[in-house]
Structure 1
Amino acid sequence: MQTSESRYITLDAMRGFAVMGILAMNIIGFAMPEWAYITPAAYGGETFADQMAWLFSFVFIDGKMRGLFSLLFGASLILITDRASSNGESAAQVHYRRMAWLAVFGLVHYFFIWFGDILFLYAMAGMVAFGFRNWAPARLVKWALIIFSLGLAFWGLQFGGLQILQYLATQPDASADLVRQYNDVKSSPDFSFDIPAQLDLHRGAYGQIVADKLADWPALFGVVFMSIAETLPLMMIGMAMNKSGFILGSWSSADYRRWAWRLVPAGLIATGLLALWMIMNRFDMVTAIAIMFFWGAIPRIMLTIGYAAVLILLIARFGSSPLLSRVAAAGRAAFSNYLGTSIIMTTIFYGYGFGLFGEVSRLGLWAYVLTMWAVMLAWSQPWLKQYRYGPLEWLWRSLARGQMQHMRR
């Protein structure tokens, strides 16, 4: 675990687990109306089996894999900029060219492939994170927690206030004014499931799907606004983890076990209680969105870091296994796997492809997830035995460097 080669295997394998795990949640966005991701009451929660599928994903996966990817993005930022400096290059130029092209990929992904893009968000957060790259680990963690807390306070005021309004407006003696305010919120476009329109749109032609996203272009920047206070702190923590050796697998097994025991059980219990709260409220949309943005944020970050510790222990234990080497290869080609998955899944579910949007149950979607995982594990390793990069990794690197990169080994 202490050699340079092992450190890269650790990062690659963790990235592989993350890109596979992200699909387990993104599949809902590929196959169902957008609100189905937030609450099964919107769509896909009719049967007990579907509710159990939601429960598993909510407790163990939702947000944690994306969080793990954010940690790894921050760690890689340090590796790439340090390598650039050691090669006599301008770290700033190398980094900002990479982020600029990542933003372009994100825009193409969002407008022309799938609305659930995170690349543009990562590019924006990455541009900010670069300014902190010379900070000491303790300072990075301190300010990451401050930024995270400020975002948490903002969402607490927004959605905690909405929950208070909901409670007061649904009391038997509620004033007419409170009831009116609450009904105005529930009937606003932001809180409208609008399921028939979503089904018609995504079962329709490619042109109308693209036109809808182009017409609603500010929504892309809304994603950045809503997510930056969680994504940027996680990147900063990933930078600190690189500098301290945590995410490179340099700590002792006892240290990783200690952090795993501190964070994973408590995070799972807290998330389980939040799931119980949603179930008791019959997956109410106000409760669901408040949990997503506010109440679930601390357990989510606990599990993200705890999962990182667990994965590092597993990679150390099974580092020589053929399966783990395939996971690591999927991580080395994570960019290709992420965008490739979007292309394949939208083709399967959208109307211009096989038109299965809204037709597959939550439980049934796991068949598509497992199949795509098998595809990722099957193609990545043979490809990387012949080529230095995944196809989109090569394109990104060539564009950022301003010259064609050598591809074959």
Structure 2
Amino acid sequence: MTAPSARIPAMDVLRGCAVMGILWMNIAAFALPEQAYFNPAAAGPLSRGDIAFWTVSFMAVDGKMRALFSMLFGASMLLLIDREEMAGRDGRRAQVIRAGWLFVFGLAHYLLLWWGDILMIYALVGLAALPFARRDPLSLVKWAFFFFLAHFLICAGFVGTLYAWGHAAAAPGAPGHVGAGFANFIASLSDPDHPAIRSEYEIYRGGFARIFLHHVALFGGQWLTTLPFVAFDTLGFMLLGMAMLKGGFLTGRWEAEQYWRTARHCFLIGLIPMAALAAWVISSRFAPLTALGSALAWSFPFRIPLAVGWAALILWLFTRHRGAALTARVAAAGRLALSNYLGSSLLMCAIFYGWGLGLFGHVPHHRLPLFVIAAWAMMLIWSPLWQRRFALGPAEWLWRSLARGQTQKIRNSD
């Protein structure tokens, strides 16, 4: 999201991989009820292929690509501030204006397309990250881990209250309404026939107006209540991205061997406990609290090294294959990250929602990667073709024009 003249190829490749990876994790939320994002059994009995898809997603993708994207967003904030100040403008003011318009983009995305928008979160959390922009890398890392700890305590505390609720419901002499309330809550996370889950099918197999009104209601309630569960980890990863930019990690300036060692160590630290968590969830037959707790809280500490490991692995490949045709295509997708992110939502909603092809709930987990791979192919084809004629993606051009208060040039020949 930096200016074409100030592109950092390594960051473009990272951003391209991140926007593609985010779609892999989001596909279940496009195609299935929201509850199935945290517990795949909420969508019905699972085949071995379904479990395999969940396992790969849980261990390697869930939260890691969003973390990578958050790191890049934090780094891009510094680049944008520097660019504005070098042009004689107020860099912080420009960032605040951009954040305001990004929130508008995100709100439109949320209401008109999909409930899983991250743009509004980035807009708000990006403002919270601004005061840290001038700190040195070590200070940024310390603050990042402070916010990681805050996030973990919030999520673990929430999951802990659910376990406490369960113990209270099972205690001898517990009031009937306590047991009934807990049983209903558990069913809402795991029983495909629960009214809350059935309602999701009815809504998203319906028309545009019904989905829109549902999203309006969600924004007034659920979005605000879930914000604390995503704000602190997002802020932590943004600050970590700032530190990684200042240390030269994200710009591809490290030696290939350094990136490889970092990736190897990070994956060793993160994948083994993630595999243990996945085995625990599977052996529990996707017990609701086990699945929810693992997705929300227990996996988070390992998400941090895995996100860094992904960045290091991608940059290791980048340093070894800078001139490859695939590298150029991924970089082009990264330069159009906002357009690809919004375009992916439009495409997937048109495939799965009732106002489109209406496949919501009809595609099992193990077939969802087919849609992801097809979308990846589209990104890798259209992004380079677009950039042959245009300097900015359509969403990037609109965002910059609104933020600057005047129409920006878009054609390469202008």
Report the Cα distance in structure 2 between the residues aligned to 1:93 and 1:27, rounded to whole angstroms: 36
Q: Which residue among 318, 326, 329 is the counterpart of 2:329?
A: 326
| Cα drift, residue 186 of structure 1 | 3.9
The code of the aligned residue for 1:255 comes to Q
| Cα drift, residue 191 of structure 1 | 4.4
The code of the aligned residue for 1:185 comes to F
TM-score between the two structures when normalised by the length of structure 2:
0.93
What per-residue deviation string (whole Å, max 9, x for no partner) do you get for residues 169-213 of structure 1?
A: 55xxx4232886454234249945622111111000110111111
CA contact (8 A) 1:121 1:223 kept: no
The code of the aligned residue for 2:198 comes to P
Q: Is the partner of 1:41 in helix, strand or coil?
A: helix
| Equivalence for 2:288 | 285
Worse-matched range after superposition: 35-44 or 377-386: 35-44
| Equivalence for 2:208 | 206
Report the Cα distance in structure 1 between the residues aligned to 2:186 and 2:113, rounded to whole angstroms: 24
CA contact (8 A) 1:185 1:191 kept: no
Q: Which residue among 376, 380, 385 is the counterpart of 2:383?
A: 380
What per-residue deviation string (whole Å, max 9, x for no partner) do you get for residues 225-246 of structure 1?
A: 2101110000000011111111
Report the Cα distance in structure 1 between the residues aligned to 2:45 and 2:399, rounded to whole angstroms: 39
| Counterparts of residues 310-321 of structure 1 (less than 5 Å) | 310-321=313-324
| Cα drift, residue 252 of structure 1 | 2.6
The code of the aligned residue for 1:160 comes to G
CA contact (8 A) 1:144 1:234 kept: yes
Q: Which residue among 152, 172, 184 is the counterpart of 2:181?
A: 184
Report the Cα distance in structure 1 between the residues aligned to 2:389 and 2:57, rounded to whole angstroms: 36
Worse-matched range after superposition: 216-225 or 382-391: 216-225
Report the Cα distance in structure 2 between the residues aligned to 1:52 and 1:122, rounded to whole angstroms: 31
| Counterparts of residues 251-266 of structure 1 (less than 5 Å) | 251-266=254-269
CA contact (8 A) 1:137 1:244 kept: yes
Report the Cα distance in structure 2 between the residues aligned to 1:5 and 1:324, rounded to whole angstroms: 19
The code of the aligned residue for 2:256 comes to S
| Equivalence for 1:14 | 14
Report the Cα distance in structure 1 between the residues aligned to 2:384 and 2:309, rounded to whole angstroms: 28
Report the Cα distance in structure 1 between the residues aligned to 2:6 and 2:256, rounded to whole angstroms: 15
| Cα drift, residue 255 of structure 1 | 2.6
> Identical aligned pairs, as a percentage?
41
Q: Is the partner of 1:388 in helix, strand or coil?
A: coil
| Equivalence for 2:120 | 120
Gaps of 5+ in 1: none
The code of the aligned residue for 1:21 comes to G
| Equivalence for 1:37 | 37
Check 1:153–1:245 CA distance in 2 against 1; reply closer, same or farther (3 A cut). Answer: same
Q: Is the partner of 2:293 in helix, strand or coil?
A: helix
The code of the aligned residue for 1:374 comes to A
Aligned length: 403
Q: Which residue among 348, 351, 354 is the counterpart of 1:348?
A: 351
| Equivalence for 2:193 | none
Q: Which residue among 301, 304, 308 is the counterpart of 1:305?
A: 308
Check 1:331–1:244 CA distance in 2 against 1; reply closer, same or farther (3 A cut). Answer: same
| Equivalence for 1:155 | 155
What is the Cα-based RMSD across aligned positions, in Å?
2.0
What per-residue deviation string (whole Å, max 9, x for no partner) do you get for residues 49-88 of structure 1?
A: 1111111111111111111100100111111101111111
Report the Cα distance in structure 1 between the residues aligned to 2:262 and 2:189, rounded to whole angstroms: 41
| Cα drift, residue 397 of structure 1 | 0.6
